């Protein structure tokens, strides 16, 4: 056998094999897991997977066989199954690891990899797979296990079990409505052609046939395509409000009634073309505005963060059970990087917990046996056992969701511009229509009725109702190109009225994750660096670990003697050299002269033999553009407020930034953040507040603010319930984004003016009784198209000006 070509990356997943490749088929792999996936794929004839893209595979994460045991629980698996008949079941999963065409290809080949799977279908943008399987041959659990084994572990969350219904279905209905309206518009226009051209050969007989046909085609448009408009109008009248749908519906029905009258009295061919065209344009506007961002969820709460199952101790070891069945007094096992699901106490000797989610504090804390641990903490390092003290929904973190702010939807109280205009509009139109009616009634009753109908028809706020959908649709589109995803177009209106912006520090203004280190002191020799790394390696303190990561030493020295004093530092003796790592007090107590010369930053001092050499400073790094954005925002006259879960830093870029804020608060717990927002809203009830934050610890504040924007490194990953998600690297656009939302309102006002002008022309013709169906057939589409071109064009031009395109 030939010597295989030396490869440092895995043939399957592309990961570095750390110089110890596993060989199979003359190809290098990083582990046996990848080999077995490769074997299965070649045996099933799916080896063309490897020719599609360079290193397409996904690294296998866990070989933990018990992890999905809880899916055998019939309740849990039943909740996951979307549809089931006597032979087949359908499940769908969210798989974050789907990243390229080969993923789609491989996942859709599941039926040839596993017996019992009938069909699998991937939705790439939603990162979702739908699997049809024969439930007599296989089970939900083995499907999930198969996916996990291939490296595509589905992310199953508690909220999956509770949410219901296929989210795609309502879209189908909108498409159907649009299709029907388009069909009717096209055909009715064809039948109206002879009339548009005033053709003579157009006999009375043909005319009545065409009109009847137009009427027949228009009925389904009224009943089906236009249903949202008249239904909404009805609901709003019932709740004593006048929305834009009310005048719209009045117009639609006036148009239809007048056309029906003309049809029956054989006096004309009605307004069926204008009617169908109107509905067609309105539906296009609706489709344009209702952008959904695939796989982005704005309604997450704590349940989305928590795992689906936990390992609970019973007589014969640990068994995975669904989270909902966790009780007080259970003993659970948590592994590295897993979340602690409920408030509990530590049973193991020690553990390290990262509370970044809960408090925003970035450095992990060390806890020892019998210490309290709060839900939402993430275990770092060695696995540990915990005794549950409270159930999941009673825990400290989840209690936040019982706060009143979570019980209402902010948008229900929001009054949009259209809502403000529509009552006036409706009353004015009705007044003009009846004024016209009474004016003509004395001379000609029939004409008076015509004028009434004509005014209502031509004043139909079609162009008016298109202004907001097209403006906001384009604005949302520009925002999403710049990494901001809003949950509704109404948020744009809110954004334009903002007076105060509240920023969270950790993860929002500063980079989340590991703290970068800085060495301040004299130059260290290579040997010194190696010895410091070796000494730090023996400690589990987070700062020591950060030092080890920072120094990146390959050589492994072992200290002859090692002394570690909790809360003070380490003393390590290597031959004739002694290394001290710790606080200034620790160095002093060992006879080294040292003062605290760094100040309030997180730091650790290094002493070698008898001398102080310097210190490692843990620096929080601002996100790129954060300082400039804050500077620009404060110049526009906004109130800026800073919140932080950490202690106040006395030096560094964070401190400089916080000093430029009007108000800053430190040591904030999640409820403190919520209360600060509520206080600002109470003192300035007229002025809207944005909260910009990340993490679960900001969830309350995001909800309490008028607009909550979550900052996220990956918009598809976790972010708390909010009104918008902003990609972290796009933070510097924030000021332009706020500007654009102000401009958007101006564009809406301008296009309102344009459509009012059209209305004035139309209505003045209508009251004189001169309005002809032909004129309406031209005026209505023309006004719609003007608005469409004006709004989208203006948004585009302004986006260029604001450098957002």
Partner 1 sequence: MEIIVVLVGFSITIALGFLAAFSWAVKSGQYDDTYTPSMRMLFSDTSKTINNNNHQKGKDQE
Q: Which residues bind partner 1 (CB under 8 A)?
A: 44-48, 52, 101, 104-105, 108-109, 112, 122-126, 168, 171-172, 175-176, 179-180, 183, 186-187, 190-191, 201, 203, 206, 209-210, 213
Question: Least distance to partner 1 from the beta carbon of 59, Å?
Answer: 22
Q: Is 485 helix (H, G, I), strand (E, B) or coil?
A: strand
Nearer to partner 1, 42 or 764 (CB): 42
Question: Least distance to partner 1 from the beta carbon of 124, Å?
Answer: 4
Question: What gap in Å lies between CA 654 and CA 664, rounded to an integer?
Answer: 12
Contacts of 421 (CB under 8 A, 6+ apart): 244, 464, 752
Question: Least distance to partner 1 from the beta carbon of 173, Å?
Answer: 9
Question: Least distance to partner 1 from the beta carbon of 147, Å?
Answer: 17
Residue 226 buriedness (CB in 10 A; 0-12 / 13-18 / 19+): buried
From 333, 297, 295, select the one nearest 313 (Cα to Cα): 333
From 292, 296, 337, 329, select the one nearest 312 (Cα to Cα): 329
Question: Least distance to partner 1 from the beta carbon of 152, Å?
Answer: 15
Q: Is 173 helix (H, G, I), strand (E, B) or coil?
A: helix
Question: What gap in Å lies between CA 516 and CA 619, rounded to an integer?
Answer: 6
Angle at 733 between CA 749 and CA 797, to 5 degrees: 40
From 346, 344, 341, select the one nearest 329 (Cα to Cα): 344
Quickly tell me which residue has 């046909």 as its tokens. 213
Tokens of 550: 């920072």
Q: With contact defined as beta carbons under 8 Å apart, do 688 and 706 qualify?
A: yes
Nearer to partner 1, 130 or 497 (CB): 130
Q: With contact defined as beta carbons under 8 Å apart, do 111 and 102 qualify?
A: no
3-state secondary structure 322-354: EHHHCCCCCEEEECCCCECCCCEEECCCEEEEE
Question: Least distance to partner 1 from the beta carbon of 228, Å?
Answer: 17
Question: Least distance to partner 1 from the beta carbon of 184, Å?
Answer: 9
Tokens of 449: 């009725």
Nearer to partner 1, 296 or 750 (CB): 296
Residue count of the chain, please give it: 805
Element spanning 387, H or E: strand 384-388
Nearer to partner 1, 191 or 605 (CB): 191
Question: Least distance to partner 1 from the beta carbon of 100, Å?
Answer: 9
From 689, 711, 688, select the one nearest 698 (Cα to Cα): 711
Q: With contact defined as beta carbons under 8 Å apart, do 152 and 95 qualify?
A: yes
Nearer to partner 1, 45 or 591 (CB): 45
Nearer to partner 1, 45 or 317 (CB): 45
Element spanning 183, H or E: helix 169-197
Question: Least distance to partner 1 from the beta carbon of 126, Å?
Answer: 8
Q: With contact defined as beta carbons under 8 Å apart, do 147 and 114 qualify?
A: no
From 607, 609, 578, 577, select the one nearest 595 (Cα to Cα): 607
Nearer to partner 1, 171 or 196 (CB): 171
Q: With contact defined as beta carbons under 8 Å apart, do 719 and 729 qualify?
A: no
Question: Least distance to partner 1 from the beta carbon of 120, Å?
Answer: 12
Contacts of 385 (CB under 8 A, 6+ apart): 313, 331, 332, 333, 334, 346, 347, 348
Element spanning 577, H or E: strand 577-582
Nearer to partner 1, 124 or 261 (CB): 124
Nearer to partner 1, 171 or 597 (CB): 171
Question: Least distance to partner 1 from the beta carbon of 112, Å?
Answer: 8
Question: Least distance to partner 1 from the beta carbon of 10, Å?
Answer: 22
Nearer to partner 1, 203 or 650 (CB): 203
Question: Least distance to partner 1 from the beta carbon of 190, Å?
Answer: 8
DSSP 339: B
DSSP 494: H
Where b means 16+ CB within 10 Å and e means fewer, 513-526 reads eebebebeeeebee
Terminal CA-CA length for the chain: 58
Q: What are the residues facing 709 on neighbouring strands?
A: 692, 724
Question: Least distance to partner 1 from the beta carbon of 11, Å?
Answer: 18
Nearer to partner 1, 206 or 565 (CB): 206
Nearer to partner 1, 155 or 287 (CB): 287
Nearer to partner 1, 122 or 278 (CB): 122
Question: What gap in Å lies between CA 177 and CA 183, rounded to an integer?
Answer: 10
Nearer to partner 1, 126 or 603 (CB): 126
Tokens of 142: 């083995």
């Amino acid at each position: 056998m030939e010597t295989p070509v030396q490869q440092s990356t895995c043939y399957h997943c592309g990961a570095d094999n750390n110089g110890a490749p596993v060989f199979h088929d003359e190809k290098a792999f990083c582990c046996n897991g990848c080999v077995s996936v490769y074997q299965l794929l070649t045996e099933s004839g799916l080896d063309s997977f490897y020719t599609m893209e360079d290193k397409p595979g996904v690294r296998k994460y866990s070989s933990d066989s018990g992890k999905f045991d809880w899916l055998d629980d019939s309740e849990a698996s039943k909740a996951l199954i979307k549809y089931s008949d006597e032979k087949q079941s359908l499940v769908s999963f969210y798989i974050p690891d789907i990243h390229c065409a080969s993923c789609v290809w491989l996942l859709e080949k599941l039926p040839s990899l596993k017996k019992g799977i009938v069909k699998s279908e991937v939705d790439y943008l939603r990162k979702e797979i739908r699997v049809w399987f024969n439930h007599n041959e296989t089970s939900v659990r083995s499907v999930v296990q198969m996916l996990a084994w291939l490296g595509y572990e589905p992310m199953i969350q508690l909220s999956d079990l509770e949410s219901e219904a296929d989210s795609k279905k309502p879209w189908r209905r909108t498409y159907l409505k649009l299709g029907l309206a388009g069909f009717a518009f096209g055909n009715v226009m064809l039948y109206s052609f002879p009339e548009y051209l005033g053709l003579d050969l157009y006999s009375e007989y043909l005319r009545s046939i065409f009109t009847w046909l137009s009427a027949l085609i228009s009925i389904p448009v009224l009943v089906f395509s236009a249903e949202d408009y008249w239904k909404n109008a009805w609901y709003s009248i019932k709740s004593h409000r006048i929305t834009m749908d009310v005048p719209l519906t009045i117009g639609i029905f006036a148009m239809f009634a007048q056309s029906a009258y003309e049809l029956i009295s054989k006096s004309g061919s009605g307004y069926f073309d204008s009617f169908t065209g109107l509905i067609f344009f309105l539906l296009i506007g609706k489709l344009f505005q209702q952008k959904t961002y695939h796989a982005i969820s704005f309604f997450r709460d704590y349940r989305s963060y928590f795992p689906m199952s936990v390992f609970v101790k019973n007589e014969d070891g640990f068994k995975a059970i669904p989270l909902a069945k966790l009780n007080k007094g259970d003993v659970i096992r948590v592994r590295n990087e897993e979340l602690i699901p409920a408030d509990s106490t530590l049973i193991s000797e020690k553990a390290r917990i990262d509370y970044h989610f809960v408090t925003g504090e970035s450095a992990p804390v060390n806890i020892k046996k019998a210490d309290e641990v709060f839900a939402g903490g993430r275990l770092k390092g060695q696995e540990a056992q915990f005794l549950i003290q409270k159930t999941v929904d009673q825990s400290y973190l989840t209690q936040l969701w019982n706060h009143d702010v979570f019980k209402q939807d902010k948008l229900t109280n929001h009054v949009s511009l259209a809502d403000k205009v529509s009552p006036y509009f409706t009353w004015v139109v009705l007044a003009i229509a009846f004024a016209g009616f009474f004016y003509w009634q004395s001379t000609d009753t029939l004409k008076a009725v015509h004028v009434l109908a004509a005014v209502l028809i031509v004043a139909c706020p079609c162009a008016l109702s298109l202004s907001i959908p097209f403006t906001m649709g384009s604005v949302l589109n520009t925002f999403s190109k710049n990494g901001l995803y809003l949950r509704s177009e109404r948020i744009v209106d809110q954004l334009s009225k903002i007076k105060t912006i509240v920023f969270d520090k950790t993860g929002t203004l500063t980079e989340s994750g590991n703290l970068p280190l800085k060495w301040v002191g004299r130059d260290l020799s290579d040997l010194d660096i190696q010895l410091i790394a070796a000494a730090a390696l023996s400690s589990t303190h987070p700062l020591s670990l950060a030092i080890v990561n920072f120094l990146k030493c390959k050589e492994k020295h072992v200290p002859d003697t090692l002394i570690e004093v909790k809360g003070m530092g380490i003393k390590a003796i290597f031959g004739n050299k002694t290394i001290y790592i710790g606080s200034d007090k620790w160095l002093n107590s060992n006879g080294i002269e040292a003062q605290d010369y760094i100040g309030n930053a997180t730091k650790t001092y290094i002493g070698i033999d008898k001398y102080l050499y310097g210190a490692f400073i843990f620096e929080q790094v601002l996100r790129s553009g954060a300082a400039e954005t804050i500077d620009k925002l404060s110049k526009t006259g906004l109130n800026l407020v800073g919140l932080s879960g950490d202690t106040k830093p006395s030096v560094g870029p964070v401190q400089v930034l916080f000093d430029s804020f009007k108000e800053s608060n430190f040591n904030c717990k999640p409820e403190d953040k919520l209360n600060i927002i509520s206080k600002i809203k109470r003192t300035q009830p007229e002025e809207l507040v944005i909260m910009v934050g990340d993490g679960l610890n900001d969830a309350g504040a995001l909800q309490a603010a008028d607009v909550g924007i979550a900052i996220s490194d990956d918009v598809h990953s976790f972010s708390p319930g909010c009104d918008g998600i902003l990609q972290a690297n796009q933070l510097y656009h924030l000021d332009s984004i706020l500007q654009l939302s102000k401009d958007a309102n101006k564009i809406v006002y301008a296009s309102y003016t344009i459509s009012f002008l059209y209305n004035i022309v139309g209505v003045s013709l209508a009251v004189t009784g001169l309005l002809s169906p032909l004129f309406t057939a031209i005026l209505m589409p023309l006004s719609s198209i003007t608005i469409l071109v004006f709004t989208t064009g203006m948004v585009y031009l302004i986006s260029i000006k604001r450098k957002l395109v």
